[in-house]
């Protein structure tokens, strides 16, 4: 029996999100699915939008990345229809997640965003998480938007060294 390709792509996204204990970014999901040539970018965007609109996944945009997580409704739907995903596709997903778990987790565990405060300053909020627990949560006020953006960008690459420095200085 042939099934609607969009349904299969939705189930693949739900399966991926259900297999990890942390959110995945839209880019991470898209990279995997496009690399496997399951579908094209536009179709995948439609799939993610429909899953979000129907409440099967939740989306949170932080700066320029959208973090996706499966909802209880999505988990329940997957439970009913998971058998429609071939074992070959499940194996590819499981292997990809196993090989890339550290990288995937690190990409969504380091967050940096900024906003203009009521005082007119820009506040850069920097967070490093591990298994859903905030290890560091710092807010820095700076006078210029460019400075706040630069702080957030540098946080992505220097967070481990900064965390280590803080621990060394405070203990």
- pLDDT tens-digit map of 74-125: 999 999 999 999 999 999 999 999 999 888 887 778 888 899 999 999 999 9
Number of domains in the chain: 2
Whether residues 114 and 102 share a domain: the answer is no
Whether residues 100 and 113 share a domain: the answer is no
Distance separating alpha carbons of residues 137 and 128, to the nearest angstrom: 7
Whether residues 126 and 67 share a domain: the answer is no
Tell me the pTM: 0.74
Question: Which helix (H) or strand (E) segment is 118 a member of?
Answer: none
For residue 126, give the 3-state DSSP assignment: strand
pLDDT of residue 60: 87
- What is the span of the domain harbouring residue 155? 109-170
Q: What is the C-alpha end-to-end distance of the chain, expressed in Å?
A: 63
- What secondary structure does DSSP assign to 8-25, as a single string? HHHHHHHHHHHT-SS-EE
CATH code at position 67: 1.10.10.10
Whether residues 23 and 102 share a domain: the answer is yes
Q: 21: closest CA among 69, 76, 79, 85?
A: 69
pLDDT tens per residue, range 107-121: 778 888 899 999 999
- What secondary structure does DSSP assign to 140-165, as a single string? EEES-HHHHHHHHHHHHHHHHHHHHH
C-beta atoms surrounding 104 within 10 Å: 22
Judging by DSSP bridges, how do beta strands 57-62 and 65-70 pair with one another?
A: antiparallel
Q: Tell me the pLDDT band of 1, cut-offs 50, 70 and 90.
A: very low
The domain boundary residue, chosen from 108, 142, 162: 108
Whether residues 77 and 33 share a domain: the answer is yes
Q: Tell me the pLDDT band of 160, cut-offs 50, 70 and 90.
A: confident
Whether residues 68 and 17 share a domain: the answer is yes
What is the chain's mean pLDDT, rounded? 90
Q: Tell me the pLDDT band of 132, cut-offs 50, 70 and 90.
A: confident
Whether residues 28 and 78 share a domain: the answer is yes
């Amino acid at each position: 029996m042939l099934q609607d390709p969009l349904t299969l792509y939705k189930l693949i996204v739900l399966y991926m999100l259900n297999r990890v204990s942390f959110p995945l970014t839209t880019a991470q999901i898209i990279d995997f699915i496009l690399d496997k040539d399951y579908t094209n970018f536009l179709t995948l965007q439609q799939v993610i939008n429909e899953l979000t609109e129907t409440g099967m996944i939740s989306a949170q945009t932080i700066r320029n990345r959208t973090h996706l997580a499966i909802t209880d409704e999505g988990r329940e739907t997957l439970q009913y229809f998971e058998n429609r995903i071939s074992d070959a596709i499940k194996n590819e997903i499981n292997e990809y997640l196993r090989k890339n778990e550290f990288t995937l987790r690190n990409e969504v565990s380091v967050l940096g965003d900024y906003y203009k405060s009521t005082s007119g300053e820009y506040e850069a909020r920097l967070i490093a998480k591990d298994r859903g627990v905030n290890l560091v949560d710092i807010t820095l006020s700076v006078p210029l938007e460019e400075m706040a953006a630069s702080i957030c960008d540098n946080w992505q690459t220097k967070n481990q060294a900064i965390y280590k420095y803080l621990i060394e200085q405070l203990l």
